[in-house]
Structure 1
């Protein structure tokens, strides 16, 4: 008897309190991706019920990012392995595998020509590396930090620039390729959790556990200002994501809010309130075409509504840990799948309606 895969009911992201979650976006705007356990989950942004899973990592995967061409995804795990695999075929054939350093990989960035990759994390002998995607040859050295590097990004226009953010409360600015250290910037008073260039390359932002978001010139690294005056959020900021036109930005914070910013004036346009419970802390965000996504500590993925900041357009629910048991039940001729997980949730999937309700 032969079997055919009909659909995948994807898990939620694996979350840790106080740890940022990186969401990756398809350059064509169709999909977004994240990690859970040893898997990379790819979901359609218009219809999240359409999902695919990459399961070839032998260790827990931390981060995955599309190449700017959209043909490949690079994913990094806790052992320091980077796997670069194909997105155009459902088998997701492995193209290359590298180990730039020994230790957890926390973030990945590509150059706009999809030829160079920067990775950073908790390396034992070093905290980052930049290499050619098809040979693994080094194209620079990431230095200037004394502790774990949490975030990296590369300017998507020439001349290339690279910026990193670290647990040593600093960011570094590099020019290249080959990438060479230019300066260390010490504006933050606590951990730097996220650094991101604007799509047009004119600016980049750094966000930290001190609740601050600073803006810098994308070509020179010169400080341009900050968002929100003394503080952008009441809690630590774990992620920022730019609008496609580089004029606005969203930020996700441990104060359980996501804020939409007008970058030119440095002022808040909207504050999205996602709840009052600890599990409502916001640890990741992504601006993909017209969609504004955030991810809560609970793992729930929120589609934010600019017209109603107090209620998301939709919230994707599911399991974050291993499923312990599964059964199918029919009522009034309509089948439902019941699943119970180690995360303490029972999920009811109404298969005809493509709905998922999480009950605790």
Structure 2
């Protein structure tokens, strides 16, 4: 007969196992892997409709890995002081919004007034920007072939009147042609860039004197867009070629989707983005299509042709729960699509975009959609659920901004544009 100590341990282990099974089933279900969820639920006698917050399993695994490593980060030199929270999972200010509700009662929310401050200038057009997943850093890339890295806490110090604060902490010069896109490694102090020189480059920003890349992938085409898998082990590249390239970060091996629809498609990829767990990725193409791919098999699982009429699709972005994709096109519309059905569920209109390859983005709580109005040189905001336009502010750029990027964790964003400037936006006090 078991003693009370071993019996208690057995019961505790059983409870943990049941919780783990529930997390696995919910994770598969939330990622639209219904068949796999059903198999696991049946094998483990777990209710298929078990209620678990989206991405809870991913968050717990990330925290466990961080604890196992005593909170340290791979690739970060101990001689360099980086914020201790870099690479951690940050809880959003609100839960994800259920965009499947088509008839929304009540008035639209109002985004608080924001003010902007010019931080820096490139020597030419600023073409892209990206925040790190914890919101501690953002980087900008320019047609001058340079990359600038800013530390957000130092930006705030400067805006609060600290004249000694220097938010621009690194500059990198290692591309031969204009920068197209940027991304941050989810755990290490690595910044990744892509450019017209057909190169993808990895920079270690923990080293204060480093100006050159520590790793280079040479593609066969102009690399227009990049996105790292949430694990940091795989990298997507959208190029002038219509098929996205998938790189193994560790081995440099390149893969192509096995069932890409061969129907005369010849449009370059404007943007490629992973979902929050990496179970899906999406591309926005110059041929006007949005294409969804399985993040494991790289098979194209859905193609939405003519998503923005005859206009090219300039940006795509998953909601946190991976159920919807937000797209922007040169037809001056922003649209929200349901992943499972490929049906449009929301449309945001009233901001002209026909020239620049500009983005439409969510704010950090996904309550608002933000984009650019080229004609009026304004930053425009819609209530994400009601689709009502709720704010428009002068961009303060000399000419419409080319790019807009929001922090994933707090109410701040950056704009950058053809006037070479980088502006930081925050809520007015």
* Same fold flag (TM > 0.5): yes
Q: Aligned equivalents of 1:69 and 1:141: distance in 2? A: 27
| Structure 2 partner of 1:183 | 302
User: CA shift at 1:254, angstroms?
Assistant: 1.7
* Gap change, CA 1:199 and 1:35, over 3 Å in 2: same
Q: Say if 1:13 and 1:34, in contact at 8 Å, map to a contact too.
A: no
Return 5+ residue gaps in structure 1 as ranges.
Answer: 1-8, 308-312, 314-360
Identify the residue that residue 225 of structure 1 maps to in structure 2: 345
Structure 1 residue 205 displacement after superposition: 0.6
Residues 80/127 of structure 1: CA separation in 2 closer, same or farther (3 Å cut):
farther
Structure 1 residue 25 displacement after superposition? 0.6
Match of 2:415 among 272, 276, 294: 294
Residue 260 of structure 1 corresponds to 381
- Aligned position for 1:283: 402
Larger C-alpha radius of gyration, 1 or 2?
2
1:84 aligns with 2:202: yes
State the partner residue of 2:150. Answer: 43
CA contact (8 A) 1:285 1:295 kept: yes
- Does residue 106 of structure 1 match 2:224? yes
Does the alignment pair 1:193 with 2:317? no
- Offset from partner CA, 1:296-344 (integer Å, 9 cap, x none): 331333334655xxxxx9xxxxxxxxxxxxxxxxxxxxxxxxxxxxxxx
Q: Which residue of 2 aligns with 1:6?
A: none
> Structure 1, residues 157-180: CA drift from partner, whole Å, max 9, x if none?
25x111111111121111131211
**Structure 2 residue aligned with 1:137:** 253
Q: What is residue 63 of structure 1 aligned with on the other side?
A: 181
Shift of 1:184: 1.9
Distance 1:109 1:29 in 2: 17
1:70 and 1:291, CA in 2 relative to 1: closer, same or farther beyond 3 A?
farther
How far residue 287 of structure 1 moved from its aligned partner, in angstroms, is: 1.1
CA distance 1:244–1:221, shift in 2 (3 Å): farther
Deviation at 1:291, TM superposition (A): 0.7
What's the secondary structure of 1:238's corresponding residue?
coil
The structure in which a higher percent of residues are strand is 1
Secondary structure of the residue aligned to 1:280 is: coil
Pairwise CA distance, 1:110: 1.1
Residue 166 of structure 1 is matched in structure 2 by 285
CA contact (8 A) 1:107 1:119 kept: yes
Matched, 1:27 2:116: no
Q: Measure, in 2, the Cα distance between the counterparts of 1:226 and 1:140.
A: 32
* Greater helix proportion: 2
Distance change in 2, residues 1:252/1:69 (3 Å): farther
For the Cα contact (< 8 Å) 2:353–2:372, is it kept in 1? no
1:154 counterpart residue number: 274
Structure 2 CA distance for partners of 1:250 and 1:84, relative to 1, 3 Å = same
Looking at structure 1, the residues matched to 188 and 338 of structure 2 have their Cα atoms a distance apart, in angstroms, of 27
Distance 2:231 2:124 in 1: 31
Q: Do the aligned residues in 1 keep the contact of 2:175 with 2:197 (CA within 8 Å)?
A: no
Distance 2:292 2:205 in 1: 31
RMSD: 2.7
Contact kept? 2:176, 2:197, Cα under 8 Å: no
Q: 1:50 to 1:304 in 2, by over 3 A?
A: closer
1:203 pairs with 2:335: no
Pairwise CA distance, 1:135 = 1.1
Q: Which runs of 5+ in 2 are unaligned?
A: 1-118, 156-165
- Deviation of the 1:50 alpha carbon: 2.3
- The alpha-carbon distance between structure 1 residues 304 and 84, as it changes in their structure 2 partners (threshold 3 A), is closer
Contact 1:59–1:77 at 8 Å: present in 2 too?
yes
Please report how far the alpha carbon of residue 13 of structure 1 lies from its aligned counterpart in structure 2 after TM superposition.
7.2
**Shift, 1:78, TM fit:** 1.3
Q: Deviations over 1:195-217 (max 9, x none)?
A: 11123433221101101111123
C-alpha spacing 1:302/1:11, structure 2 compared with 1 (3 Å): closer
Preserved CA contact (<8 Å) 1:200 1:246: no
